Amino acid sequence: MSVTSEFFHPRSILAKVLIGSFLIFLTWAGYEGHLLPIRNFLSDERLTLEFLEYTISPYTVLKGLLIVTGFFWISSLVSAQIEKRIAGFSRMRVSNRELLAKAATLIIYFIFFVAALDMIGIDLKALTVLGGAVGIGIGFGLQKITSNFISGIILLAEKSVEVDDLIELSDGTQGFVRHTGARYSLVETFDGKEVMVPNEDFITARVINWTLTNKHGRVEITIGVAYGSNLDLVRDLLLQAAREHERCIEFPEPVCYLDGFGDSSIDFTLHFWVSDVTEGRRGPKSDVQFAIWRKFAENHIEIPFPQRDLHLKSIPENLQLKPADDCSGKGDKA
């Protein structure tokens, strides 16, 4: 953000001083009657239109714009202060704080908007027609936006996906939830990309939350050993390699399964759990595989590669090889 835009941001100190001074000046000028000539000029009958029960003049339009702008600016300041107060509730969960802040912001804007309309002189009963038109617009043009907004509220209320959760989407996107907004949630992937995921995707699609109830994560290692190996020793070495790792937890305890007898190897699967999956699983998996490799080498256990043995029992006489012809060139006729 540039320095100029930062200074004139609605919540910056300079913007607050300028807008506040302007509103105070207008209030004082109107109370003292200095704006009366401007009011009379803008309210001239030649510039006035009649619409239903309302009389619309440049003065009423300008007055309405100033009132609405002022009320929305004040509501923005009030909501910002309330959000700061709510953010200080350290005993409340992050999702609850965000849900409370959004609800407070909506209520404040609604109250100030209704107050602004009342000051302008608009009958609130006339808003029923406008509400019907807005409903039709939401049903068609704003359907996705409304769906994402409601989905965001559902996520905050259910607490199924919260900030700093490790999630995996149906399209394979994995990462940490860094922010939940009104329209989208920001997911930071392991390679540093920031993906803006519509809130609706968390409601309608399948989402894996690795940290919903706990941060435990399972690591799986598959390995094959040569036929003729001591299988009991292989199992003990695999479990020992897992238990020796510092991030392996005791419960659930590591387990080792003999999966089957393959064409070239006897296949095992090792499962062990880490306490905090947000710290990663590939590191412990790599460390344990290094430990397995060293333990197998020390105990002369072979990890085979695919191979085929060809056995020839007999060769038919008609397929037996004949002695090679003399290649010396002797006896060749010119």
Domains and CATH numbers, the chain: 3-150 (no CATH), 163-209 (2.30.30.60), 217-298 (3.30.70.100)
Query: Residue type for 172, please?
Result: G
CA distance 181 to 192: 20
Pairwise pLDDT comparison (8 vs 157), residue with the higher score: 157
Calpha distance 279→190 (Å, rounded):
11
In 3-state terms the chain splits into helix, strand, coil percentages (rounded to 5) of 50, 15, 35
| pLDDT single digits (tens) 198-252 | 989 998 889 999 988 889 999 999 999 999 999 999 999 999 999 999 999 999 9
Is the entire prediction scored with pTM above 0.85?
A: no
- Give, in order, the Cα–Cα distances in Å from 77 to each of 9, 71, 88, 97, 158: 12, 10, 17, 18, 29
**Checking DSSP bridges between strand 266-274 and strand 217-225, what pairing results, if any?**
antiparallel
> How far is the CA of 143 from the CAs of 57, 148, 157, in angstroms?
35, 9, 21
Distance CA 9, CA 16 (A): 9
Q: Are 209 and 165 in contact (CB under 8 A)?
A: yes
Q: What is the pLDDT of residues 103-136, one digit of tens each?
A: 777 787 777 777 776 666 666 565 565 566 666 6
Q: Quick one: residue 19, left, alpha or beta (phi over 0 = left, psi -120 to 50 = alpha)?
A: alpha
Taking residue 43's Cβ as centre, other Cβ atoms within 10 Å add up to 15
The pair phi, psi for residue 115, each rounded to 5°, is: -65, -40
Strand order in the sheet with 174-180: 194-198, 184-189, 174-180, 166-169, 207-209
Q: How high is the mean pLDDT of the chain? A: 78
Burial of 166 (0-12, 13-18, 19+ CB in 10 A): buried
Q: So what's the pLDDT on residue 151? A: 85
Using CA atoms, how far apart are residues 251 and 249, in angstroms rounded to an integer? Answer: 6
Per residue in 184-197, pLDDT (tens digit) is 889 999 888 999 99
Which of 106, 200, 202 has the alpha carbon at shortest distance from 144?
Answer: 200
pLDDT tens for each residue of 253-310: 999 999 999 888 999 999 999 999 989 899 999 999 999 999 999 999 999 987 666 7
Q: Give the CA distances from residue 114 to residues 67, 72, 103, 108, 120, in Å, rounded to whole numbers and listed in that order.
A: 11, 11, 17, 10, 10
Which residue, among 206, 194, 209, has the nearest Cα to 278 in the 3D structure?
209
